[in-house]
Amino acid sequence: MWRKPMLLLRLGSGYGTNMWVCPLWGKHLLCWVSERWDQKLLVVPRVLVCMSSHMILMLQQDRARAIGVELVSFEEALATADFISLHMPLTPATSKMLNDDTFAKMKKGVRIINVARGGVIDEEALVRALDSGIVAQAALDVFTVEPPSKDSKLVHHENVTVTPHLGASTKEAQEGVAIEIAEAVVGALKGELAATAVNAPMVPAEVLTELKPYVVLAEKLGRLAVQLATGGSGVKSVKVTYASSRAPDDLDTRLLRAMITKGLIEPISSVFVNLVNADYTAKQRGLRIAEERILLDGSPENPLEFIQVQIANVESKFASAISDSGEIKVEGRVKDGVPHLTKVGSFEVDVSLEGSIILCRQVDQPGMIGKVGSVLGEENVNVSFMSVGRIAPRKQAVMAIGVDEQPSRETLKKIGDIPAIEEFVFLKL
């Protein structure tokens, strides 16, 4: 906002002249990064440009809790902000978001910075707000029509600082865009999640980072569940339960549902499932996925406590995977950033979801772990984890064994021939 002082200095003046500038000390900045009007806003005390300030960010409630900030309404944010910086895309929802009505709600003397898209501001309304003093100054590098007309009232307004819209025209920006595109393409080819897919639900990068281990957990639970079903192609009805201390509105499960769908479909078909086509592919195959959320008491620091996947109306290759209510049920959670299988049917287990898994139902008696381990060792199959869950001592138990290699049929048959082993199944992750 140094247009007038800059001109005065170039003319050999400026010192001792009344230059009305605005310090940032104690001011409020509204950093507007969302296209939605109905979201709550956050007040985040933080240092801005080495000066004490406040920043108001339009973000999700779970992020607010995570960083310990105060939520305020949209109207309160407009009425409080001394500076408003715009950083949203131009969509039908954001077109002319700043107009006569929104300017009327703003604090008199507000300063507007728009480096997003020109169309998000009604330029004629901005001129009126500048003339009336509602907006003290504006800084723009984007316009509704680019380049703006030579006689544009906005461009020539004495309280407006303008520059051409450079976009990604700098050398550094071009290199950054090229690297970002290359990394996104490589990640997509590897089957990784893409935060910038244009035809998929938009998932912010920070949410992707937080959910990454739960995304892996969701897919692997889907893979386990469908492999436990006899004739996996007959799976039509699936129920997914998310247990979390976060309110339902603070946990977007679209990504998790897509990965569960991926896990359910890919092991039994040649279809490649991703965030873009997951819902469509499920619908094509007649797969119905119902979601349920359990709200837990406690800290919402972690997005999820556990995920449970149930498949109804099918038989199981592993009878112990059938819960008391008659569905195939697997449950897992993330421990220290690593997905774990924690329940099969009614049996509690605890095995890291790495490599592949052998599930054995057995009579609970001494020596079983050693016998199964010896069979695998003799065949050079490395055991990574082993866990036993039982209903009661000396009754039935389920052993979950993580293995690095796929055992041969002969090795699996040797495990099945152990007298106390009642059933077993190999599951490839």
Each residue's pLDDT tens digit, 82-94: 888 888 778 887 8
* Residue 197 resides in a domain: no
And the tokens for 196?
């910038």
Together in a domain, 307 and 424: no
Q: Please state whether the peptide bond connecting residue 147 to the residue before it is cis, i.e. omega within 30 degrees of 0.
A: yes
Together in a domain, 243 and 365: no
Across the beta sheet with 160-162, the strand order is 70-72, 41-48, 51-57, 28-32, 83-86, 110-114, 135-140, 160-162
Together in a domain, 134 and 214: no
From 28, 128, 165, 293, the catalytic residue: 165
Element containing residue 72 per DSSP (H, E): strand 70-72
From 54, 117, 257, 361, the catalytic residue: 117
| DSSP state at residue 301 | T
CATH code at position 214:
3.30.1330.90
Together in a domain, 100 and 210: no
Q: Which of 190-199, 262-271, 346-355 has the lowest mean pLDDT?
A: 190-199
Together in a domain, 37 and 150: yes
* Residue 170 resides in a domain: no
Task: Read off the pLDDT of each residue in 28-36 and give the average, rounded to a whole number.
Answer: 65
Containing structural domain, residue 379: 352-429
Together in a domain, 22 and 114: yes
For 229-238, the pLDDT digits (tens) are: 997 778 999 9
* Residue 326 resides in a domain: yes
Q: Which of 304, 319, 345 is the last residue of a domain?
A: 345
Annotation marks residue 146 as catalytic: yes
Number of domains in the chain: 3
For 122-136, the pLDDT digits (tens) are: 999 999 999 999 999
Task: Read off the pLDDT of each residue in 262-279 and give the average, rounded to a whole number.
Answer: 89
From 70, 75, 146, 301, the catalytic residue: 146
Q: Which of 345, 363, 385 is the last residue of a domain?
A: 345
CATH code at position 107:
3.40.50.720
And the tokens for 130?
């500048």
Together in a domain, 13 and 151: yes
Residue reference for tokens 């039908």: 92
* Residue 177 resides in a domain: no
Together in a domain, 133 and 273: no
* Burial (CB count within 10 angstroms: exposed 0-12, middle 13-18, buried 19+), residue 67: exposed
* Residue 188 resides in a domain: no
* Residue 191 resides in a domain: no
* Residue 231 resides in a domain: yes
pLDDT value at position 47?
Answer: 29
Q: Strands 347-352, 356-363: parallel, antiparallel or unpaired by DSSP?
A: unpaired
Q: How many CB atoms lie within 10 A of CB 61?
A: 17
Annotation marks residue 117 as catalytic: yes
Angle at Cα 298 formed by Cα 296 and Cα 303, nearest 5°?
A: 70
Annotation marks residue 405 as catalytic: no
Together in a domain, 71 and 16: yes
Together in a domain, 16 and 107: yes
Q: Strands 396-403, 421-428: parallel, antiparallel or unpaired by DSSP?
A: unpaired
Together in a domain, 154 and 254: no
Together in a domain, 369 and 410: yes
Q: Which of 279, 312, 345 is the last residue of a domain?
A: 345
For 380-403, the pLDDT digits (tens) are: 999 988 888 887 787 888 999 989
For 132-181, the pLDDT digits (tens) are: 999 999 999 899 988 888 889 999 998 998 888 876 677 887 888 888 88
Q: How high does pLDDT run on average in the chain? A: 82
* Residue 178 resides in a domain: no
* Burial (CB count within 10 angstroms: exposed 0-12, middle 13-18, buried 19+), residue 407: buried
